[in-house]
Amino acid sequence: MPEFAVEMRGIVKRFPGVVANDGIDFALQRGEIHGLLGENGAGKTVLMSVLYGLYRPNAGEIFINGTPHKHYSPATAIGLGIGMVHQHFMLVPRLTVAENIMLGQEPTKSGVLLDRDAAVQRIEEFSRQYGLPIDPNARVNQLPVGAQQRVEIIKALYRGADTLILDEPTSVLTEQEVEHLKAALMKLKEEGKSTVLITHKLREAIGMCDRITVLRKGTVVGTVNANETDERELAEMMVGRDVVFTVRRSQATGEPEIALQAKDIEACDDRGLLTLKGVSFDLRKYEILGIAGVQGNGQAELAEVLTGLRPLRSGSISLDGLNLTGKTARDFIAAGISHIPADRQLRGLVMNFSLRENAILGQHRVRPFTLSRFWQSQRAITNHTRRIIEAFGVQAPNTTTLAQNLSGGNQQRLIVGREFSKEPCVIIASQPTRGLDVGGIEYVREQLLKMRDQGAAVLLISMDLDEILMVSDRIAVMYDGQIVAIKDPEETNRRELGELMLSGSPSHAAGYKS
Amino acid sequence: MLKRSTLLREMGITLLSITLAFGIGAFIIWAAGFSVSAVFINLWKGAFGGKLAIGQTLTKATPIIFTSLSFLIAFRCGLFNIGAEGQMYIGAMVAAVVGAHLHLPIVLHVVACLAAGGLAGAFWGWIPGYLKAQRGVNEFVSTMMLSYVAIGFSDYLVAPRGPLHDDKYWANQTVRIAATAALPRILKPTQVSMALAVAIFFALLVWYYLFRTPAGYELRSVGLSPPAAEYGGIRIKRKLILALSLAGLLAGLAGSGEVLGTHFRFIGRFSPGYGWDGIAGGLIARAHPIGAIFAALLMGALRAGGMQVQRSGAAPGDIAAVLQGLVIFFIIAPTLVRTLIRWRRR
Amino acid sequence: MKRWVAVVIAALVLVPLVASVGVAQAPKIGLILATGGLGDRSFNDQSFKGADDAAAVIAAQYGVTVEDVLDYVEPADIAEYEGFQLQFADSGEYAIIVCIGFDQAAPLEIVAPQYPDQKFVIVDMVVIGDNVASVVTNDWEEAFLCGVVAGMMTETNVVGFEGGMEIPLIIGFMNGYTQGAQWANPDVDVLVRYVGEWANPTLGAELAREMYNAGADIIYGAAGKSHLGVFAAAEENDGWYALGTDVDQAATAPEHADVIIASGLKRVDLAVESEIMKMVNGTWAAGIFSYGILTDFGFGTGIAVGNLDVNQYITKSESEVEVPCEVILKLIEAANGIADGTIVIEP
């Protein structure tokens, strides 16, 4: 058997205007966990999509188990034992786990009838064998994200994958779920499977991988052994410069008057279930209030309520004495509330709009962009877009590029640029760094602090506890639709916050008996 | 806006589609036992061979420009306006009444007729818009149903015992509009009138509205991404109502133009399906207002050429209709052509 | 071999030349049919027959085919009339353009003045112009003759009339029919219904059924394709009969020959042929021309009834219904009365 499960030589993949992969060599040893690290847009996902048969490379050779392969489709790749778990899951929400896994691979009784029992049995075997607990009969839309990911992994294994590609698997997971995933990957390794882990999180790459290949701008910077490197070295390889790795929180200087006031807010989620159950807080100028919590405890609804996108059931919201209760997004924007939405592709941008058009979303009605009802200043819009592109480092060929042609990180930079350049008095930032690379994360955090120092009131909703701890002046923990505690970051720690997030009270989660 | 390379590719695909349609059309003509060359020569002659032919093409294209705009402005807001035909009838009827029974000086009378016809059409578009925004009624169904209501109502008005019937003729039509209300014919002896200029003006206006005003920006945002539009403080329901009202307005103008420039009266069932042609026109134009002019010209040319094919005896009118259908089908299904191209490259 | 090529080339060059010489000489006829097109077994088909007959005469005279002489179109809707009229007129190819149907009048009023040298004929409506001959027929005469048949043959003394729309043209039919029935049978009652549509046989049948059930046993009408519904309804019961309109519908609708006693005749074919031949003979003139029994032409209306041609008004029908001799005699009396003015019909 050849040493390498996969070997890729001199892979070149061009897209209109971009060289995504520029002569990449990549080798995956049998039975290793290989981290593929790089900033957003470095070409990680493209390289693995080439391997999976989704893209055809413009040049280069691919050897799978030592045999060269050319011009193949994902179906062929699956046949060759390659499985890929995409960042956005490809599951049918209304079907059960077993049905999803069986799709396209249906075992049949006497050639015609679906043999559901056989499938369920096999899924349960896989589940035990690899330590990936899953209920084959549960409906996918009822499962948490972590479980959906396990379904995707089992699906790949079910189809006979020896080589598993995981694209940003941890970006949607909680800390605990990450630990489970790590354990599962170790189990897979023991079984002789090879894994490629696409990530931009340094700590995870070091913690989970055997070797790490770092990509930058479509080329390989180098491959290192995980136990011989550290975060600082990897970060340098990734961004090509010294990174001021942790943004240091400075003390705010201005008068912390109350800006945004929320009183006893109640609101329902999309299904009509009461999700915010009486939330009250004051958001002050010159501060960042971090909202910590496990996903699905009302943070998403809170952000929407505070930006006029979701109606209140009861309670009130006011800004500098201006009552915003029952007002629409239009009024919230006019009052000076900026919003970095959690879902940038759905809410934050019109993907089929150009950068110019996206750069004025929400401000398209006001000067200097609109001079009268029937007169828009094209020059003002272009200038504004250029300023955002330059000031916020958006990588784009020109201002008329469509937003959908930008990488995720650049999309986020565009949104942040747009929202911050409004000179807002309140910023509601929902998962502002999710999916960003090291440089991007650092940048957004710095900008949030800068806005705070200029007097803005910032509400930061994030699943990344490190982020919350790093930049917040106060930390509110949400659990089951309520704020269960507000902590000073100097006087708390990850452990205490984690317990609050998981159970709403510190003692219960820790399992102490009084 | 489309980039130049994209634009060229789109045009290339469109041309390829037309060629393919003519190819299959040629086969059908041959199989039906007619002379392929005679049909195509007459199709060309009827559409572009001489002043009259060009006039016929432009005459047919004029209402289709309006109905294509009507379709695409709603489409840009994510809505399907299937009811341009009915909105056109309502507009035509009101324009005919204002044109015949109001006494105003020249120019002003025309403007009054266009405004009245346009507003009547807008009202007919507002109803499904309101129902969509407030009650979630599917506009696909409601615009189409209201279309039948409008056509039936117009039938009643101009039927022999109807209130608007012209007793001078037995045909189902209203009296002739006043001379002051007529849009002058600009290419005599053909039927081309100033309505064509009005249509082109409105195509430019719709372009400006969609791409150069904040209102048009909001409309397109809603069409491309309602959640993002909502996030941007855009009141989606209002936009839905507005878009269908504007669609109705443009369709109403199509009818007004027919009354003021082509027939000089409302004739029962005057439309050979211009409202439906607008759906195809809007899609052929890839929902671009300037493209709508060219799409309408293509449809008009096919209709005019079809008349010549029939007159010359090269083939019955149905064969020309088959050709038209094929062209529309192939242009609207470019995904099919793209698939074929991709398939070839494999 | 070379000679063979030369012959082929000569043939290729000469044949179209000869053909074009022939076409250039023969006067061409343009025919714009009414909406509904060919196959209505009535108005359009009759008009086409007249034009076709005239074209055959011309074709024989000039040694060309009928197709070389006659071009015709079937407009799909009213809005197409003007375009077709323009297309025919503007081509300058046609010695005469025949427009069929009253609804062509409005566009012709616009088109005709723009082509003062072009001869137009319009059938069934009057358009005033120096280059337009308007052909109308005394429809009430055929209706009167049908009324005579109905009045004589009814057993219930109730007969019916079904009109397409309540317009002067159709009211003329209704009046002629009523007067004819009452002239032949003073005790007869006439029921009247209007369909409101020209092409709705289903509704036509429904209204006919209603009149039959109200006691009528013979129904006549003028309702275009809707009138076909009357025949369908008549088939449903013994003793229910119908009368055809404008052409011998027992021949054009043979499946109903068992219920169609007779058909009024509007000889559009003769009128169209007459107008075209006037053009050929150089006697064509603009103006209004009435065709009918009581006209200068002396022909244009009549009735198809019985199994032999009696005269130019009473011709044989393909009907399978037996018509008593006294009915034919009464019809001869009526036609002569109309011709000499002793019977005056109020349309």
CA-CA-CA-CA torsion sign (C190, C196, C199, C203): negative
**Chains in touch with A (≥3 Cβ pairs < 8 A):** B
C179 versus C252: which is more confidently predicted?
Answer: C179
Q: Which of C73, C79, C167 sits opposite B160 (nearest CB)?
A: C167
Give the tokens for residue C85.
Answer: 């009229």
Q: Which of B217, B224, B235 sits opposite A352 (nearest CB)?
A: B224
| Same domain membership, residue C161 and residue C121 | no
3.40.47.10, 3.40.50.880, 3.20.20.300, 3.40.50.300: CATH of A258-509: 3.40.50.300
pLDDT tens-digit profile of B159-205?
Answer: 877 888 887 776 788 999 999 999 999 988 888 999 999 999 999 99
Q: Is the pLDDT of residue A282 over 80?
A: yes
- In chain C, residues with a C-beta closer than 8 Å to the C-beta of B43 are none
User: What share of chain A has pLDDT > 70, as a percent?
Assistant: 90
Residue B223 lies in a domain: yes
Among the residue ranges A371-375, C100-104, C193-197, the one predicted with the least confidence is A371-375
Residue B337's pLDDT is what?
61
Q: In this complex, is the C-beta atom of A361 within 8 Å of any C-beta atom belonging to chain B?
A: yes
The angle at the Cα of A502, spanning A496 to A505, to the nearest 5 degrees, equals: 60
pLDDT tens-digit profile of C1-24?
Answer: 445 555 445 444 444 444 444 444
Min Cα distance A363 → chain B (Å) is: 8
| Same domain membership, residue C205 and residue C247 | yes
Is residue C207 within 8 Å of residue C195, measured between CB atoms? yes
Give span(s): CATH 3.40.50.300, chain A.
Answer: 4-239, 258-509
Q: In this complex, is the C-beta atom of B233 within 8 Å of any C-beta atom belonging to chain C?
A: no
Q: Which residue range is the domain that position C68 belongs to?
A: 2-137
Q: Is the pLDDT of residue A245 over 60?
A: no
Q: How confident is the model at residue A251 (pLDDT cuts 50, 70, 90)?
A: low
| Same domain membership, residue C130 and residue C60 | yes
pLDDT tens-digit profile of B223-270?
Answer: 999 999 999 999 999 999 999 999 999 999 999 999 999 999 999 888
The dotted CATH code for A4-239 is: 3.40.50.300
If one counts the domains in chain C, the total is: 2
Distance between CA atoms of A164 and A31, rounded to whole angstroms?
A: 11
If one counts the domains in chain B, the total is: 1
- The string of DSSP codes covering A42-109 is SSHHHHHHHHTTSS--SEEEEEETTEEE-S--HHHHHHTTEEEE-SS----TTSBHHHHHHTT---EE
Nearest C-alpha in C relative to B55: C83
Single-letter amino acid, residue B297 = L
The DSSP element (H or E) to which B209 belongs, if any, is helix B195-212
Q: Which of B4, B217, B342 to mutate to test the interface with A (most CBs of A within 10 A)?
A: B217
| Same domain membership, residue C125 and residue C239 | no
The angle at the Cα of A301, spanning A300 to A304, to the nearest 5 degrees, equals: 95
Residue B70 lies in a domain: yes
What burial letters (b/e) apply to B225-259, b meaning 16+ CB within 10 Å?
bbbbbbbbbbbbeebbbbbbbbbbbbbbbbbbbbb
Give the CATH number, domain containing residue C84: 3.40.50.2300
| Same domain membership, residue C149 and residue C66 | no
| Same domain membership, residue C312 and residue C185 | yes
**Chains in touch with C (≥3 Cβ pairs < 8 A):** B
- Read off the pLDDT of each residue in A245-259 and give the average, rounded to a whole number: 69
Residue C292 lies in a domain: no
- Read off the pLDDT of each residue in A203-218 and give the average, rounded to a whole number: 87
| Same domain membership, residue C322 and residue C236 | yes
Residue C97's pLDDT is what?
96
Distance between CA atoms of C61 and A17, rounded to whole angstroms?
A: 75
Q: Which of B3, B217, B231 sits opposite A357 (nearest CB)?
A: B217
Domain stop point among C137, C164, C195: C137
Residue B240's pLDDT is what?
96
Nearest C-alpha in B relative to C101: B171
| Same domain membership, residue C165 and residue C22 | no
| Mean of pLDDT over chain C | 87
Distance between CA atoms of A142 and A369, rounded to whole angstroms?
A: 45
Distance between CA atoms of C211 and C190, rounded to whole angstroms?
A: 10
What is the DSSP code (8-state) at residue B21?
Answer: H
pLDDT tens-digit profile of A357-414?
Answer: 999 998 888 888 888 888 888 999 999 999 999 888 888 888 888 998 887 778 888 9
Nearest C-alpha in C relative to B59: C83
Residue B39 lies in a domain: no
Long-range contacts of A143-147 (CB under 8 A, 24+ apart): A143/A97, A144/A296, A145/A172, A145/A173, A145/A177, A145/A295, A146/A172, A146/A173, A146/A174, A146/A177, A146/A180, A146/A181
* Sheet with strand A274-284: strands edge to edge: A274-284, A258-268, A314-319, A322-323
C136: which strand partners? Answer: C290
Residue B273 lies in a domain: yes
Residue C189 lies in a domain: yes
- In chain A, residues with a C-beta closer than 8 Å to the C-beta of B229 are 350
Close Cβ partners of B153 (under 8 Å, ≥ 6 residues apart)? none
Distance between CA atoms of A194 and A211, rounded to whole angstroms?
A: 12
Domain stop point among C137, C154, C180: C137
Q: Which residue range is the domain that position B183 belongs to?
A: 45-340
pLDDT tens-digit profile of B74-116?
Answer: 999 999 999 999 999 999 999 999 999 999 998 999 999 999 9
Residue A84 has φ and ψ, to the nearest 5°, of -130, 135
Among the residue ranges A164-173, B240-249, C35-44, the one predicted with the least confidence is C35-44
Residue C80's pLDDT is what?
85
- In chain B, residues with a C-beta closer than 8 Å to the C-beta of A305 are none
Q: Which of C86, C170, C203 to mutate to test the interface with B (most CBs of B within 10 A)?
A: C86
Give the tokens for residue B206.
Answer: 């719709």
- Read off the pLDDT of each residue in B119-147 and give the average, rounded to a whole number: 94
pLDDT tens-digit profile of B24-57?
Answer: 999 999 998 899 999 999 999 999 988 889 999 9
Residue contacts between B and C (CB atoms, under 8 Å): 97
Residue A510's pLDDT is what?
39
Using DSSP's 3-state secondary structure scheme, residue C63 falls into: coil
Is residue A84 within 8 Å of residue A52, measured between CB atoms? yes
A216: which strand partners? Answer: A219
Using DSSP's 3-state secondary structure scheme, residue A280 falls into: strand
Q: How confident is the model at residue A512 (pLDDT cuts 50, 70, 90)?
A: very low
Residue B35 lies in a domain: no
- In chain B, residues with a C-beta closer than 8 Å to the C-beta of C91 are 52
pLDDT tens-digit profile of A104-138?
Answer: 665 555 555 567 787 888 888 888 888 888 888 88
Do C and B share at least 3 CB pairs under 8 Å?
yes
Q: Is the pLDDT of residue A511 over 80?
A: no
Domain stop point among C89, C106, C137: C137
Q: Which residue has the tokens 């009581």?
A: C294
10 Å CB burial of residue C9 (0-12, 13-18, 19+) is exposed
Residue A111's pLDDT is what?
56
Residue C235's pLDDT is what?
93
Is residue A344 within 8 Å of residue A411, measured between CB atoms? yes
Give the CATH number, domain containing residue B299: 1.10.3470
Residue B31 lies in a domain: no
Alpha helices for chain C (secondary structure H): 2-25, 43-62, 66-69, 81-91, 105-111, 139-153, 168-184, 201-213, 228-234, 249-252, 268-281, 325-340
| Same domain membership, residue C69 and residue C170 | no
Residue C288 lies in a domain: no
Q: Is the pLDDT of residue C141 over 90?
A: yes
Q: Which of C87, C115, C174 to mutate to test the interface with B (most CBs of B within 10 A)?
A: C87
Do C and A share at least 3 CB pairs under 8 Å?
no
Residue B29 lies in a domain: no
